[in-house]
Amino acid sequence: MKFIVTPSPLGGSITAPASKSHTIRAVFIAALAQGRSVILNPLDSADGRSALCAVAGMGADVEVAPGKWTIDGVGGHIQAPACPVDVGNSGTTANFALSMAALGIAPIYLTGDEQTLARPVAPLLDVLSSFGARITSNKGMLPARVEGPMDGGAARVDGSTSQYLSSLLIHLPLAPRDSQLTVPSLNEKPYADMTLRWLDDMEIEYEREGYELFRVRGRQSYRCFTRLVPGDFSSATFFACMGAIPGNSVSIRGLDFDDSQGDKAVFDYLEAMGASVDRGMEDVRVTGGELIGARLDLNATPDALPAMAALAAMAQGTTEIVNVPQARIKETDRIAVMAEELAKMGVDIEERPDGLVIRGGGIKGAKVRSHGDHRVVMSLALAASRADGPVTIQAAEAVDI
């Protein structure tokens, strides 16, 4: 499928979709719990469905209705399915499912789509192996065979992506032994905060020393719950950036600035670049201004890189996006992909190991590719809205993720 985007101004209001990160955490914790949990306002997307399929494959009973998912958990008794657990395109689901499989006692096979099979999971597999799980994989990537049970223990955790740590924090409370996790340098800290808030709400016992050391008591259990999933700041990023374009104004409903989602920092980035942000009780309104380049440290908000790169192409001066090397191990290498595709649109853009340098100026109509990445699709559409002619985005069906 392809999108053809014709440049035009934009205004209006929109309700933010539900948070994917919260939805996937809710699905896995509900699956591990004893009893029936109800997830209200889940993000019903391909990634959310992948999470549901993964936990259903390992024994959870899942019922899907509009705006409501009901999950009867396994209470820690993981079952081995006859067929491989397919995590689709969801990297978070892949990492969480690996730890869930390691709690079982029979072999579980995990696989995913082409992009997921290219994403490294070796750092997580190494920790699970050190805790007693027996694992074979494709050179540290999926497909993998996981045979538990893991016992827990002490391990050093790679902090290049927060998903490894979050996966362990969610599943180690069910291990028979206490665990200690040392994380030398953690990227994406707000996602770890989100996981820890879930553990707090579930009354899971743990201790922490900053983001460097975590002690998790074993032999715990999750209780069932009913939970409303909040709006997604990550998805709202694209609408907020659209509102920040000169001549535009967008109101976004359904966002809770008290939530732990790191991508709420995007509104600070927009203000730094010259947009007006009005945070109200019911909504947040972003109004375009004369955009100027800025230095943006996106270590805590890697998912914002594609959209901020697109917006930077419209700003006067130079924008530096820095300290976000983990953007290279998302659904795609988003640093390389955004550099390649924006260059096709005439943008003066330079790739760095940990980010991008964008010199604002004109954006040209062009044919570009999504590389199968939903955030790339939306970011290219954002840039296309201010191009000097139509932009055709190939493989635009990736937005379903």
How far apart (Å, rounded) are the C-alpha atoms in residues 340 and 108? 38
**Cβ atoms 255, 264 nearer than 8 A:** yes
Determine which one of 47, 193, 303, 373 is catalytic: 303
**Cβ atoms 125, 98 nearer than 8 A:** yes
How far apart (Å, rounded) are the C-alpha atoms in residues 21 and 74? 21
Q: Is the dihedral of CA 369, 388, 313, 47 positive or negative?
A: negative
Q: What is the largest CA-CA distance in the chain?
A: 61
Q: Which residue in this structure is represented by tokens 């694209």?
A: 238
How large is the C-alpha radius of gyration of the chain?
21
How far apart (Å, rounded) are the C-alpha atoms in residues 123 and 67? 35
How far apart (Å, rounded) are the C-alpha atoms in residues 389 and 252? 28
Q: Which residue in this structure is represented by tokens 């827990």?
A: 152
Single out the residue of 15, 17, 9 nearest to residue 249, CA to CA. Answer: 9
How far apart (Å, rounded) are the C-alpha atoms in residues 362 and 344? 12
Which tokens go with 115? 């992009």
Strand 226-228 to 213-216 pairing? unpaired
**How many alpha carbons lie under 13 Å from residue 397 in its C-beta half-sphere?**
4
Q: Which residues pair with 110 in a beta bridge?
A: 85, 144
Told to judge if 303 belongs to the known catalytic residues of this protein, a careful annotator would answer: yes
**Cβ atoms 382, 341 nearer than 8 A:** no
- The kind and range of the H/E element at 28 are helix 20-32
Positions marked catalytic: 303
